[in-house]
Amino acid sequence: MIDINELNGFLNVNKPSGMTSYDVIRHIKRISNFKGKIGHTGTLDPLASGVLVICIGSATKKAGKFLAMEKEYLATMLLGTTTDTDDIQGKIIETKKIDDTTLDIDLINKTIHSFIGEIQQVPPSVSALTRQGVRLYKLHRQGRPVIPEARKVFIYEIDVKKVEIPRVVFKVVCSRGTYIRALCRDIGRKLGYGAVQEALIRTRVGFFSIEQSITLDQLKKDGIKKYLMNTNII
Protein backbone atom coordinates (compact mmCIF):
# COMPACT_ATOMS: atom_id res chain seq x y z
CA MET A 1 0.00 0.00 0.00
CA ILE A 2 1.27 3.47 -0.90
CA ASP A 3 1.30 6.00 1.95
CA ILE A 4 -1.38 8.67 1.44
CA ASN A 5 1.26 11.35 2.04
CA GLU A 6 3.40 10.16 -0.86
CA LEU A 7 1.05 10.94 -3.73
CA ASN A 8 -0.31 14.43 -4.34
CA GLY A 9 -0.83 15.92 -7.77
CA PHE A 10 -2.55 15.69 -11.14
CA LEU A 11 -2.61 13.06 -13.86
CA ASN A 12 -3.54 13.92 -17.44
CA VAL A 13 -5.18 10.65 -18.47
CA ASN A 14 -6.38 9.74 -21.95
CA LYS A 15 -9.65 8.01 -21.09
CA PRO A 16 -10.53 5.24 -23.53
CA SER A 17 -14.00 5.01 -25.04
CA GLY A 18 -16.21 2.50 -23.24
CA MET A 19 -15.14 3.38 -19.70
CA THR A 20 -16.91 5.72 -17.32
CA SER A 21 -14.88 8.45 -15.65
CA TYR A 22 -15.20 6.61 -12.36
CA ASP A 23 -14.00 3.40 -14.02
CA VAL A 24 -10.73 5.25 -14.62
CA ILE A 25 -10.49 6.20 -10.94
CA ARG A 26 -11.14 2.60 -9.88
CA HIS A 27 -8.47 1.40 -12.31
CA ILE A 28 -5.91 3.86 -10.94
CA LYS A 29 -6.70 2.84 -7.37
CA ARG A 30 -6.27 -0.80 -8.28
CA ILE A 31 -2.95 -0.50 -10.12
CA SER A 32 -1.46 1.91 -7.56
CA ASN A 33 -2.90 0.38 -4.38
CA PHE A 34 -3.33 3.99 -3.25
CA LYS A 35 -5.90 4.38 -0.45
CA GLY A 36 -6.06 8.17 -0.30
CA LYS A 37 -8.42 10.57 -2.07
CA ILE A 38 -8.73 10.37 -5.87
CA GLY A 39 -11.18 12.34 -8.01
CA HIS A 40 -11.61 13.85 -11.46
CA THR A 41 -12.31 17.38 -12.66
CA GLY A 42 -15.16 16.80 -15.11
CA THR A 43 -17.09 13.76 -16.29
CA LEU A 44 -16.58 12.32 -19.75
CA ASP A 45 -19.43 10.19 -21.10
CA PRO A 46 -18.56 6.49 -21.57
CA LEU A 47 -18.75 6.91 -25.36
CA ALA A 48 -16.20 9.73 -25.28
CA SER A 49 -12.43 9.46 -25.02
CA GLY A 50 -9.65 11.91 -24.33
CA VAL A 51 -8.42 14.20 -21.58
CA LEU A 52 -9.60 13.34 -18.08
CA VAL A 53 -7.68 15.21 -15.39
CA ILE A 54 -7.32 13.08 -12.26
CA CYS A 55 -6.66 14.69 -8.87
CA ILE A 56 -4.75 12.67 -6.28
CA GLY A 57 -4.34 13.40 -2.58
CA SER A 58 -4.24 17.09 -1.70
CA ALA A 59 -4.82 17.97 -5.38
CA THR A 60 -8.49 17.05 -4.91
CA LYS A 61 -8.87 20.36 -3.03
CA LYS A 62 -8.10 22.17 -6.29
CA ALA A 63 -10.57 20.25 -8.48
CA GLY A 64 -13.00 23.17 -8.48
CA LYS A 65 -10.46 25.39 -10.25
CA PHE A 66 -10.86 23.27 -13.39
CA LEU A 67 -14.56 24.09 -13.70
CA ALA A 68 -13.83 27.53 -15.10
CA MET A 69 -11.31 26.24 -17.64
CA GLU A 70 -12.37 26.06 -21.28
CA LYS A 71 -12.72 22.65 -22.89
CA GLU A 72 -11.81 21.59 -26.44
CA TYR A 73 -13.40 18.67 -28.26
CA LEU A 74 -13.27 16.91 -31.62
CA ALA A 75 -16.79 15.74 -32.40
CA THR A 76 -18.28 13.56 -35.10
CA MET A 77 -21.92 14.39 -35.80
CA LEU A 78 -24.27 12.07 -37.68
CA LEU A 79 -27.05 13.90 -39.50
CA GLY A 80 -30.49 12.44 -40.16
CA THR A 81 -30.86 10.52 -36.88
CA THR A 82 -32.50 11.52 -33.60
CA THR A 83 -32.21 9.51 -30.38
CA ASP A 84 -33.42 9.84 -26.79
CA THR A 85 -29.86 10.35 -25.53
CA ASP A 86 -28.64 12.68 -28.31
CA ASP A 87 -25.84 10.24 -29.14
CA ILE A 88 -25.54 7.17 -31.33
CA GLN A 89 -26.08 4.78 -28.41
CA GLY A 90 -29.59 5.91 -27.63
CA LYS A 91 -32.99 4.65 -28.76
CA ILE A 92 -33.77 5.93 -32.25
CA ILE A 93 -36.70 8.32 -32.26
CA GLU A 94 -36.60 9.41 -35.89
CA THR A 95 -34.54 9.03 -39.03
CA LYS A 96 -34.71 11.32 -42.02
CA LYS A 97 -33.21 10.90 -45.46
CA ILE A 98 -30.86 13.71 -46.34
CA ASP A 99 -31.32 15.65 -49.54
CA ASP A 100 -27.73 16.36 -50.51
CA THR A 101 -28.90 18.58 -53.35
CA THR A 102 -29.94 21.23 -50.80
CA LEU A 103 -27.71 20.38 -47.86
CA ASP A 104 -24.26 21.49 -48.95
CA ILE A 105 -21.02 22.29 -47.14
CA ASP A 106 -21.65 26.05 -47.18
CA LEU A 107 -25.01 25.64 -45.41
CA ILE A 108 -23.51 23.25 -42.87
CA ASN A 109 -20.65 25.66 -42.16
CA LYS A 110 -22.97 28.64 -41.84
CA THR A 111 -25.32 26.79 -39.50
CA ILE A 112 -22.58 25.42 -37.27
CA HIS A 113 -20.88 28.81 -36.97
CA SER A 114 -24.19 30.40 -35.96
CA PHE A 115 -23.76 28.70 -32.57
CA ILE A 116 -20.62 30.67 -31.71
CA GLY A 117 -21.14 32.91 -28.71
CA GLU A 118 -23.47 32.71 -25.74
CA ILE A 119 -26.30 30.22 -26.24
CA GLN A 120 -29.11 28.74 -24.19
CA GLN A 121 -28.64 24.97 -24.21
CA VAL A 122 -31.00 22.27 -22.95
CA PRO A 123 -28.83 19.43 -21.59
CA PRO A 124 -29.61 15.85 -22.65
CA SER A 125 -32.34 14.11 -20.65
CA VAL A 126 -29.86 11.27 -20.07
CA SER A 127 -26.95 12.76 -18.13
CA ALA A 128 -25.32 12.93 -14.72
CA LEU A 129 -27.30 16.05 -13.82
CA THR A 130 -29.71 15.60 -10.93
CA ARG A 131 -33.37 16.29 -10.24
CA GLN A 132 -34.29 16.21 -6.56
CA GLY A 133 -31.07 14.39 -5.83
CA VAL A 134 -31.53 11.67 -8.46
CA ARG A 135 -29.33 11.39 -11.56
CA LEU A 136 -31.27 12.03 -14.77
CA TYR A 137 -29.94 8.85 -16.37
CA LYS A 138 -31.43 6.87 -13.47
CA LEU A 139 -34.80 8.54 -13.93
CA HIS A 140 -34.62 7.72 -17.63
CA ARG A 141 -33.95 4.04 -16.87
CA GLN A 142 -36.98 4.05 -14.57
CA GLY A 143 -39.18 5.31 -17.39
CA ARG A 144 -39.44 8.79 -15.87
CA PRO A 145 -37.40 10.96 -18.28
CA VAL A 146 -36.96 14.61 -17.37
CA ILE A 147 -36.26 17.45 -19.77
CA PRO A 148 -33.76 19.73 -18.01
CA GLU A 149 -34.08 23.49 -18.02
CA ALA A 150 -32.05 25.44 -20.56
CA ARG A 151 -28.87 27.00 -19.26
CA LYS A 152 -26.35 29.51 -20.51
CA VAL A 153 -23.14 28.18 -22.06
CA PHE A 154 -20.55 29.79 -24.30
CA ILE A 155 -19.11 28.48 -27.55
CA TYR A 156 -15.77 30.21 -28.14
CA GLU A 157 -14.73 28.52 -31.40
CA ILE A 158 -16.06 26.02 -33.92
CA ASP A 159 -13.98 24.76 -36.81
CA VAL A 160 -15.44 22.31 -39.31
CA LYS A 161 -12.74 19.76 -40.13
CA LYS A 162 -14.46 17.34 -42.49
CA VAL A 163 -17.83 16.91 -44.20
CA GLU A 164 -18.86 13.60 -45.70
CA ILE A 165 -22.64 13.68 -45.53
CA PRO A 166 -24.22 12.40 -43.32
CA ARG A 167 -21.13 12.86 -41.09
CA VAL A 168 -19.58 16.14 -40.03
CA VAL A 169 -16.39 16.37 -37.96
CA PHE A 170 -15.78 19.62 -36.09
CA LYS A 171 -13.60 21.04 -33.35
CA VAL A 172 -15.27 23.09 -30.64
CA VAL A 173 -13.89 25.15 -27.77
CA CYS A 174 -16.50 25.81 -25.13
CA SER A 175 -17.26 26.78 -21.54
CA ARG A 176 -18.04 24.58 -18.57
CA GLY A 177 -21.38 22.78 -18.66
CA THR A 178 -21.55 22.50 -22.45
CA TYR A 179 -22.89 19.19 -23.75
CA ILE A 180 -21.54 18.38 -27.19
CA ARG A 181 -24.34 15.83 -27.61
CA ALA A 182 -26.84 18.64 -27.19
CA LEU A 183 -24.86 20.86 -29.55
CA CYS A 184 -25.01 18.17 -32.26
CA ARG A 185 -28.74 17.75 -31.62
CA ASP A 186 -29.41 21.48 -31.96
CA ILE A 187 -27.26 21.87 -35.08
CA GLY A 188 -29.17 18.99 -36.67
CA ARG A 189 -32.50 20.54 -35.77
CA LYS A 190 -31.51 23.87 -37.27
CA LEU A 191 -30.50 22.09 -40.48
CA GLY A 192 -33.89 20.36 -40.50
CA TYR A 193 -32.65 16.79 -40.22
CA GLY A 194 -31.84 16.08 -36.60
CA ALA A 195 -28.45 14.78 -35.55
CA VAL A 196 -26.62 12.79 -32.92
CA GLN A 197 -23.11 12.71 -31.58
CA GLU A 198 -21.42 9.66 -33.08
CA ALA A 199 -17.96 10.07 -31.53
CA LEU A 200 -16.26 12.52 -29.19
CA ILE A 201 -12.67 13.16 -28.15
CA ARG A 202 -11.85 15.73 -25.48
CA THR A 203 -8.59 17.18 -26.71
CA ARG A 204 -7.96 19.79 -24.03
CA VAL A 205 -8.99 20.96 -20.55
CA GLY A 206 -7.39 24.33 -19.92
CA PHE A 207 -3.68 23.73 -20.55
CA PHE A 208 -3.96 19.93 -20.19
CA SER A 209 -3.78 18.64 -23.78
CA ILE A 210 -4.30 15.22 -25.31
CA GLU A 211 -0.80 15.35 -26.80
CA GLN A 212 0.62 15.31 -23.27
CA SER A 213 -1.84 12.77 -21.87
CA ILE A 214 -0.98 9.26 -20.75
CA THR A 215 -2.78 5.97 -21.18
CA LEU A 216 -3.84 3.57 -18.47
CA ASP A 217 -1.40 1.05 -19.90
CA GLN A 218 1.44 3.53 -19.39
CA LEU A 219 0.36 4.06 -15.78
CA LYS A 220 0.23 0.33 -15.18
CA LYS A 221 3.66 -0.20 -16.74
CA ASP A 222 5.57 2.77 -15.28
CA GLY A 223 3.65 3.64 -12.14
CA ILE A 224 1.85 6.82 -11.15
CA LYS A 225 4.76 8.78 -9.70
CA LYS A 226 6.46 9.10 -13.10
CA TYR A 227 3.53 11.10 -14.52
CA LEU A 228 2.24 12.94 -11.47
CA MET A 229 2.20 16.73 -11.90
CA ASN A 230 2.76 19.05 -8.94
CA THR A 231 -0.28 20.68 -7.33
CA ASN A 232 1.39 24.09 -7.73
CA ILE A 233 0.87 24.12 -11.51
CA ILE A 234 -2.52 25.77 -10.94
CA distance 157 to 180: 13
Which residues partner with 120 through β-bridges?
152
Half-sphere exposure at residue 26, Cβ-oriented, CA atoms within 13 angstroms:
5
Residue-wise burial string across 153-171, b where 16 or more C-beta atoms lie within 10 A, e elsewhere: bbbeebeeeebeebebbbb
CB 195 within 8 A of CB 81: yes
The β-bridge relationship of strands 208-209 and 195-205 is antiparallel
Concerning whether 45 is annotated as a catalytic residue, the answer is: yes
The catalytic position among 23, 45, 217, 222 is 45
CA distance 34 to 66: 23
Sequence-ordered strand ranges (E) for 66-150? 71-79, 81-83, 92-95, 117-121, 130-131, 134-135
Any idea which residues carry the catalytic annotation? 45
